[in-house]
């Protein structure tokens, strides 16, 4: 790689895609730190080392990739999803590690919005390293970094609302039965989504109605080694025998149901990504508060005609007040349609 436009070299772009995949793999295990991926290329453009952020207090992606690359990093290129940090916390500054390793070029996707950690690009440039930012920025920013970026900019966790419903928007039949509206492939995707979140949130109504365990499980139904925090919101009494209180994952109870108060409490616990799996009442409250940042909807090819709606009152009395979203992605999942949507701007 050479020339002024080295950052558009297909080798660099491919390395950025690989770095984004590395970040995705560790999403849900790094909070309150971001899920960053890094690929180090040697001076000939060959992959010499890779890394992804480890849990808080342990190595960052760049350090792991440099360690694997060893001397091959000298004169090479580091490709990283987030601007290398310039501060020293429980771990050293990644920008300093890259500088000291002798890399010649650094390409990153997203600038660090955290004023306490930003400045890595400037530090590297002052050391004579060729630095280019904004590589595949939009794609990377809406991937593994999205929850952390949201939490850093707003001070509150990113909230994904997941629901399964029939074609006519029902989440349960009139007799209360809901298992299973969605297909087995859709349920498997839900477990993957859970595994990538720091916390799973439900209300007391869901616990009383469905008695869910809320753990993340693999394709064989076995619990994953790392589990999200289970959060139950509400004031109703719950039986001690409820599955959500077993020892398969930690659980906290939060009184009341005010979305902002709930999210502030979770932010204080270092949570940056929340999966909202509560019933229609809790979902409506979060939507009315403007606290749903991503919707993951699994729509089954079935009609129920009556029963519980997926969404309760969200403060909408006129079509002009509708909460508008745009589709980021629509795809088949088994026999269901899986829709990912984010709030429309403006």
Query: Please, what are the domains in the chain?
Result: 6-148 (3.40.140.10), 156-343 (3.40.430.10)
Residue 3 has pLDDT above 80, yes or no: no
User: Does residue 233 carry a pLDDT above 90?
Assistant: yes
52: confidence class by pLDDT, cuts 50, 70, 90 = very high
Backbone angle region of 211, left / alpha / beta, with phi > 0 → left and psi within -120 to 50 → alpha: left
Res 346: pLDDT: 59
C-alpha distances in Å from residue 132, one per residue of 27, 36, 141, 173: 25, 17, 16, 54
Residue 189 annotated in active site: no
Radius of gyration of the chain (CA): 22
Pairing of strands 336-343, 325-333: antiparallel
Could you give the percent of the chain with pLDDT greater than 90? 79
pLDDT at 345: 80
Round to whole Å and give the CA distance between 278 and 295. 13
Task: Give dist(CA 235, CA 237) in Å, integer.
Answer: 7
To the question of whether residue 178 is assigned a binding role by annotation, the answer is yes
Nearest-5° Cα angle at 196, 108 to 244? 160
pLDDT in tens, 75-91: 999 999 999 988 776 66
12-44 pLDDT per residue, tens: 999 999 999 999 999 988 988 999 999 999 999
What band does 286 get if pLDDT is binned at 50, 70 and 90?
A: very high
Catalytic pick among 21, 59, 62, 296: 62
Specify the pLDDT at position 173: 87
Q: Is the pLDDT of residue 133 over 70?
A: yes
285 is in an annotated binding site: yes
Cα–Cα distance measured from residue 208 to residue 242, given in angstroms and rounded to the nearest whole number = 8
Q: What is the mean pLDDT of residues 152-175?
A: 93
pLDDT class of 2 with cuts at 50, 70, 90:
low
Asked whether residue 331 is marked as a ligand-binding residue, the answer is no
Residue 296 in marked binding region: no
Residue 127, SS3?
A: coil
Assess whether pLDDT exceeds 70 at residue 1: no
Total residue count of the chain as it appears in this document: 346
pLDDT tens-digit series, residues 166-225: 999 998 888 887 778 899 999 999 999 999 999 999 999 899 988 899 999 988 888 888
């Amino acid at each position: 790689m050479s020339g002024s436009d080295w950052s558009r070299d297909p080798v660099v772009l491919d390395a950025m895609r690989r770095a984004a995949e590395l970040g995705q793999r560790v999403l849900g295990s790094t909070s309150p730190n971001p899920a960053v991926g890094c690929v180090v290329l040697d001076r000939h453009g060959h992959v010499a080392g890779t890394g992804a952020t480890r849990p808080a207090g342990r190595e960052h992606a760049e350090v792991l990739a440099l360690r694997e690359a060893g001397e091959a990093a000298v004169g090479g290129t580091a490709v990283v999803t987030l601007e290398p940090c310039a501060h020293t916390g429980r771990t050293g500054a990644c920008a300093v590690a890259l500088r000291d390793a002798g890399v010649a070029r650094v390409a990153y996707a997203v600038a660090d919005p955290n004023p306490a950690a930003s400045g890595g690009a400037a530090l590297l440039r002052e050391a004579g390293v060729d630095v280019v930012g904004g590589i595949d920025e939009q794609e990377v920013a809406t991937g593994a970094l999205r929850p952390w970026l949201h939490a850093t900019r707003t001070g509150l966790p990113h909230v994904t609302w997941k629901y399964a419903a029939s074609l006519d928007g029902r989440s349960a039949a009139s007799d209360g039965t809901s298992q299973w509206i969605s297909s087995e492939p859709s349920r498997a995707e839900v477990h993957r989504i859970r595994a990538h979140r720091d916390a799973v949130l439900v209300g007391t109504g869901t616990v009383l109605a469905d008695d869910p365990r809320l753990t993340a499980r693999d394709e064989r139904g076995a619990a994953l080694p790392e589990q999200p925090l289970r959060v139950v919101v509400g004031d109703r009494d719950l039986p001690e025998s409820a599955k959500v209180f077993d020892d398969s994952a930690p659980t906290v109870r939060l009184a009341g149901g005010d979305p902002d108060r709930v999210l502030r409490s979770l932010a204080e616990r270092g949570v940056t990504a929340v999966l909202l799996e509560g019933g229609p009442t809790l979902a409506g409250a979060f939507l009315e508060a403007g606290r749903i940042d991503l919707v993951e909807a699994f729509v089954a090819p079935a009609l129920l005609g009556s029963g519980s709606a997926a969404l309760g009152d969200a403060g909408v009395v006129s079509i002009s007040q509708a909460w508008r979203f745009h589709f980021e992605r629509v795809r088949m999942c088994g026999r269901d349609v899986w829709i990912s949507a984010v709030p429309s701007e403006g």
